[in-house]
A and B are shown apart, each in its own frame.
Chain A
Amino acid sequence: MNAQTKEHIIKAMDKNIRFDGRKNDEFRPITIQYGASSTAEGSTRVQFGDCEVIAGVKLGMGKPFDDRPKEGVLMVNAEMLPLSNPKYEGGQPGNDAIELSRVIDRGVRESHMIDNEKLCIKEGEKVWMVSVDISPINSDGELFDIAAFATVAAIKDAVYPEIVDDKVDYHKKTNTHLPIQRVPVSITIYKFGNNYVVDPSEREIGAADARLTLAFTEEDEIVAMQKGGETPFDINEVDTIIALAKKKSRELRALLK
């Protein structure tokens, strides 16, 4: 992004105004649709303004890891689909897709959202494997928060398929949801000059200097954190950022059914 455009955006943010009418700490309008994919065991289609993603949960049976014979297996994967933005080239996942996947995974895993031991069917032999895939439909601006939100909502939405003759019958769904202990909510605060901004759109995000993603539990405990962007934070600002993120996480949490 060229310097003058960046300056133009930040000057407005200095006045707490953005070019879509939002204040610095406002999300774009959020919609969430559950059951977005009939083939997924749980799924959501989420919009933050023009940014839209689908998150889908698939459950399968498989062998546990050798060092965790009593635990189910969780995997979170985000793809930057070329469908969703002309800047994505497709092919092997790039560093940004990998970072996004791992940051979301960390929030879900470290919060122990799913009681992994309850996913065990037969110790050392058979456990439930939970895969969550995030597919952007229109990638507009920041993805960390929308993807994490869609992921967590899809996991809550998921139900077990039936087991018939020791095999999964994907055509028969039970009414049993996954064993959920905690619901992590992720918020990313972006630094634009001296402003702390939430949910930047595609027009804005090129002007960001740095970002900090934090995942909170219901009890405001932090379970995951990631700093991104080229500009360092001052030691003294981290507290302010965490406080803002905590406040916004409650707003997002209220939208989960």
Chain B
Amino acid sequence: MTSSLIVEAKQICVPGETIAKGMDFLPAQGTSREGENIISNKLGMVNVNGRLISVIPVSGKYIPKRGDTIIGQVFDVTMSGWRVNINCAYAAMLMLREATNEFVPRNQDLTRIFNFGDLMIAKIENVTSQNLIDLTLKDQGLRKIQGGQTIKVTPSKVPRIIGKKGSMVSMIKKATKARIIVGQNGLVWISAEDPSMELLALNTIKKIEENAHISGLTDKIKEYLEEIVGPINFDENEHENASEEQTGENNEQQ
């Protein structure tokens, strides 16, 4: 039997849908093999990589990964650290020693460092087999963030929002003069002096999320922004450093 793709790449498929027929294809993430067929196990976009067929989720919570830079919000303060909400099924933990190098005397009120509701950019140091997630602030660019607002996007859309070498998010920052940090966990922090520009940055990011699968999206978003702010002087090959690539954040702007 010749192998064939029933659902084309970049099309949306639903759980239980047959994506491909034939033994030439191999089931990867979000799919499984049933007899000669590859079946989708998730709502998502079909992705074909050589013989591998996977389904990229278009919705759902963040799956924590070691090394990811994320945005989190403190929801509990303990004797030894803070419990942080990072938009996944489990709470993450930031231990005191991972938060600061300073000496903190015992029984010190930890809310002086991070209080309930405080936001942070942190890195996932470790995810144990029991789904315990350890965070650290000990790396370049990691810290408490103040003011602004955070919005939630589907984690799988994050690369699109950041763009190649941070190009998409840089364009938005140039156009709106907003500070933007994109967490790998789908939380995006935006802050601008001018509330209408902050709103524009927010709406642009939402637009990218809704249209992530369209090709030529960068140009379309540039058009959308220019209609409101006028021509943007933007070079796609502008250099961004490694941590910016992860979060789309330009440290110089702080």
* Residues of chain A at the chain B interface (Cβ within 8 Å): 1-2, 4-5, 7-9, 12, 15, 17-21, 203
Q: For A2, what are the chain B residues with a Cβ–Cβ distance below 8 Å?
A: 115-119
Chain A proximity of B185: nearest CB distance (Å) = 17
Give me 15 other A-B pairs in contact (C-beta within 8 A), A8-B147, A19-B199 excluded. A2-B115, A2-B118, A4-B146, A5-B117, A5-B149, A8-B149, A9-B149, A12-B195, A12-B198, A15-B195, A17-B199, A18-B195, A19-B195, A19-B198, A203-B149
Contacting pair B147 A7 (CB below 8 A): yes
Q: Contact partner of A4 among B116, B147, B198, B199, CB < 8 A?
A: B147
Q: A2-B115, A2-B117, A8-B191 are in contact. Are A19 and B146 (CB under 8 A)?
A: no
> How far apart are the CA atoms of A203 and B148 in the complex, in Å?
12
Q: A17-B195, A17-B196, A18-B195 are in contact. Are A8 and B118 (CB under 8 A)?
A: no
The number of residues on chain B lying at the interface, defined by a beta carbon within 8 Å of a beta carbon of chain A, is 15
> How far apart are the CA atoms of A21 and B203 in the complex, in Å?
10
Q: List 14 A-B residue pairs with CB atoms under 8 Å apart, sorted by A's residue number.
A: A2-B116, A2-B118, A4-B146, A5-B117, A5-B148, A8-B148, A12-B198, A15-B195, A17-B199, A19-B199, A19-B202, A20-B199, A21-B199, A203-B149
> How far apart are the CA atoms of A156 and B8 in the complex, in Å?
52
> How far apart are the CA atoms of A12 and B191 in the complex, in Å?
12
Chain B proximity of A31: nearest CB distance (Å) = 20
> How far apart are the CA atoms of A203 and B147 in the complex, in Å?
13
Contacting pair A5 B199 (CB below 8 A): no
Provide the B189-233 mask, 1 if CB < 8 A to any CB of A, else 0: 001000110110010000000000000000000000000000000
Nearest-neighbor residue (CB-CB) of B144 within chain A: A4
Q: For A7, what are the chain B residues with a Cβ–Cβ distance below 8 Å?
A: 147
